[in-house]
Amino acid sequence: MHMFILIFKLISVKMDTLKGTESLFMIILSLISQIIDIPNYSELVGSPDKKKSSASDEQGSPDNSSLVRRNVFFDITSAAKTLFQSSGDASTGDSEIIFGRPLPKDMPTKLKKLLIFLKQNVHLEGIFRKCGSNKRIKDIKKLLDSHGNVIDWSEQEEFTVHDAASVLKQYVAELPEPLLCDKHIPIHIEIAKLVDEGRKLKCLQLVLLLLPEENRMFLKMLLMLLSEVALNPHSLMDSHNLGLLFAPHILKSNQMETATNLCLGNSTMSDQLDDLVTYTAYMIDNSERLFQIPRDLEQAAGKYKARLERGESFEDIPVEIASSCVRMSGDLHKDVVTSQTKQHLIELYKMFQAMPEGKEKASRIKKFEKEYPHYIMELNNVSHSPMIRTKSTRRNISNSISKLLHIPLPWRPTQSPSQE
């Protein structure tokens, strides 16, 4: 499994491999979250059987607010398991039928031979665009789905390059889960919106590390092939054209299907489709760099390793998931607004009370009490802060402190709070 190799390379420390996978997974997610908001975070770290409920939670449950700068500990054993292993029953790699099945752990020779044949023909005009003959495509698929009967592409004259290219496209299209993985699609949609090249590349490199090894390998071979086509002037197929043809398959998702269905009529949908086409073209253009490990990850993993070596226990090292935007329900939003307003008003009141005695202080406190009478009541009743007790004691305390220390109390006359 590639992730383990990666861990050993990066962290090169002897630790429980599953724990290592988990921590690397969290470090990667953490780095991604520094660039984009991860829309389906809870789905990514949730266990597979909770997948459905967490997806519906996202609609309106206020629980998601806990995503904000939360320290994630490692109760996510299942997450690592599901993320780094392919979802389906692909383990039976010897399966003869390949179409419509999950990617096998080891790429079948017949698929490799198809890719090699296409690699030899990247110069052909309209490759992947022209569709060949439906009958011959069916014949090839039948042959590839049968046992051992591998087509000798260089010898045969029955099938054309366009037939073969269509077969490959259909293979990708018929995968039960899209090549880029269902649960990563929302992240890809976010990355597609990024403008900054460096951030885009880094984020893409990171999210591709989360793919199951077989998906990563196949994607790499596919993108390498497509980039060769795009670079060959005779093919007339630039990366945009190829992106147009492959985006609906590798980024297939509910959103995507709606996008293609409604691509007329609805301009936002159409825009999203265009975004994903451009994004796929970007992946083709950068196929080589996509599979490199970003330096940030090496550094982050290195730091993590150092803390482990210092004897800190695995669970105590927090990994931060940043989030600048949290989805919350209307009620929760109201609560947050009220409580934050209250908090700031309390601070304001404290500041007034901390002012040196004088006309200004008196007038401000009077004004405040007039403006927010219910807060004063609440402040006096509920507050446990020693700063806000009855006025008389406070005044005495503040007076005595200022006399004792011979310094003015911390108040800022320049920032007149009443004007704020």
Q: Which residues bind another protein (CB under 8 A)?
A: 126, 129-135, 160, 162, 166, 169-170, 173, 236-237, 240-241, 244-246, 248-249, 257, 260-261, 263-264, 273
How many Cβ atoms from other residues are within 10 Å of residue 186's Cβ? 19
Cβ nearer to another protein, comparing 120 with 133 = 133
Buried b (16+ CB within 10 A) or exposed e, 348-384: bbbbbbbbeeeeebeebbeebbeebeebbeebeeeee
Q: In 3-state terms, what secondary structure has residue 223?
A: helix
- For residue 245, the minimal CB distance to another protein (Å) is 5
Identify the H or E element spanning 70: strand 70-72
Nearest to 189 by CA among 251, 250, 240: 251
* Cα distance between residue 197 and residue 2, in whole Å: 27
- For residue 157, the minimal CB distance to another protein (Å) is 15
Cβ nearer to another protein, comparing 195 with 264 = 264
Q: By the 8 A CB rule, do 128 and 169 touch? A: yes
Q: By the 8 A CB rule, do 228 and 238 touch? A: no
* Cα distance between residue 240 and residue 359, in whole Å: 71
Cβ nearer to another protein, comparing 245 with 336 = 245
Cβ nearer to another protein, comparing 133 with 396 = 133
- For residue 244, the minimal CB distance to another protein (Å) is 5
Cβ nearer to another protein, comparing 101 with 162 = 162
Cα separation values, 50 from 55, 56, 79, Å: 9, 10, 11
Q: By the 8 A CB rule, do 142 and 96 touch? A: no
Detail the DSSP E strand segments found in 239-398.
319-321
Nearest to 300 by CA among 83, 29, 42, 19: 29
- For residue 284, the minimal CB distance to another protein (Å) is 15
Q: By the 8 A CB rule, do 73 and 318 touch? A: yes
Identify the H or E element spanning 72: strand 70-72
Cβ nearer to another protein, comparing 90 with 244 = 244
Cα separation values, 296 from 10, 44, 291, 301, 306, Å: 11, 21, 14, 8, 15
- For residue 174, the minimal CB distance to another protein (Å) is 11
* Cα distance between residue 136 and residue 153, in whole Å: 14
* Cα distance between residue 398 and residue 145, in whole Å: 86
- For residue 47, the minimal CB distance to another protein (Å) is 33
Cβ nearer to another protein, comparing 115 with 131 = 131
Cβ nearer to another protein, comparing 128 with 304 = 128
Cβ nearer to another protein, comparing 29 with 189 = 189
- For residue 170, the minimal CB distance to another protein (Å) is 8
Amino acid sitting at position 381: N
- For residue 216, the minimal CB distance to another protein (Å) is 23
Cβ nearer to another protein, comparing 271 with 371 = 271
Cβ nearer to another protein, comparing 246 with 349 = 246
* Cα distance between residue 180 and residue 149, in whole Å: 29
- For residue 166, the minimal CB distance to another protein (Å) is 8
- For residue 134, the minimal CB distance to another protein (Å) is 7
- For residue 213, the minimal CB distance to another protein (Å) is 27
